[in-house]
């Protein structure tokens, strides 16, 4: 496999990847908005983070498969995706551990989602897709900081106890 350079992150494919990540984040926002209006524990940011993480995992696989072309045997590609699936499952347990329920309040959902996004970007960067990882983290930070401020302003009574 050819070495992947940082310069390759400036390609049209990465512009499309950014648009895909952005669209996934906006789709998560649509669901999260509705949940937030209903004062559900998993609200706007949580849904945005989950959608962003899922898109990042998928795009990482797409980028990797494209970079292999016909150079690598198909069993190697399948093994890699099993490894990624294992990471996703393991991170699910880690995220579940960060969710706490106390006196009817559920805390830690956004943290669990951000752990999941962090794992997705870790997979992307670990495979050499630095641009994909950087774009995902940038959108995650916007989700946590900017959207967090938006949530506190527009939904003061629904504020998630943990930011």
- The DSSP line for 3-48 is PP-GGGGGSHHHHHHHHHHHHHHHHHHHHHHHHHHTT-SS-HHHHH
Residue 8 pLDDT grade (very low, low, confident, very high; cuts 50, 70, 90): low
Mean pLDDT, all residues of the chain = 80
Confidence of residue 7 (pLDDT cuts 50, 70, 90): low
pLDDT higher than threshold 80 for residue 34: yes
Summarised one tens digit per residue, pLDDT across range 76-125 is: 566 677 778 888 887 887 778 778 777 777 778 888 888 889 889 988 88
* Whole-number percent of the chain with pLDDT over 70: 82
Q: Which residues of 3-23 are buried (b: 16+ CB within 10 A; e: fewer)?
A: ebeeebbeeebbeebbebbee
Q: What's the pLDDT at 70?
A: 61
Predicted local distance difference test score (pLDDT) of residue 41: 72
Task: For the beta carbon of residue 121, count every other beta carbon within 10 angstroms.
Answer: 26
- What residue spans define the domains of the chain? 6-158
pLDDT digits (tens, 9 = 90+) for 45-69: 989 998 898 888 888 887 877 777 6
Report in angstroms the alpha-carbon separations of 101 from 104, 118, 131.
6, 23, 37
Helix (H) or strand (E) holding 50: helix 44-68
């Amino acid at each position: 496999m050819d070495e992947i350079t940082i310069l390759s992150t400036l390609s049209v494919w990465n512009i499309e990847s950014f648009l895909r990540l952005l669209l996934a984040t906006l789709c998560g926002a649509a669901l999260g908005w509705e949940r937030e209006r209903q004062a559900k524990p998993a609200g706007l940011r949580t849904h945005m983070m989950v959608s962003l993480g899922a898109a990042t995992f998928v795009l990482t696989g797409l980028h990797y498969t494209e970079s292999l072309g016909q150079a690598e045997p198909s069993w190697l590609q399948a093994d890699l995706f099993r490894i990624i699936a294992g990471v996703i499952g393991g991170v699910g347990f880690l995220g579940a551990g960060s969710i706490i329920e106390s006196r009817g309040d559920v805390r830690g959902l956004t943290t669990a989602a951000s752990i999941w996004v962090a794992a997705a970007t870790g997979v992307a960067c670990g495979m050499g897709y630095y641009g994909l990882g950087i774009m995902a983290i940038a959108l995650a930070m916007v989700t946590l900081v900017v959207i967090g401020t938006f949530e506190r302003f527009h939904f003061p009574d629904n504020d998630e106890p943990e930011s």
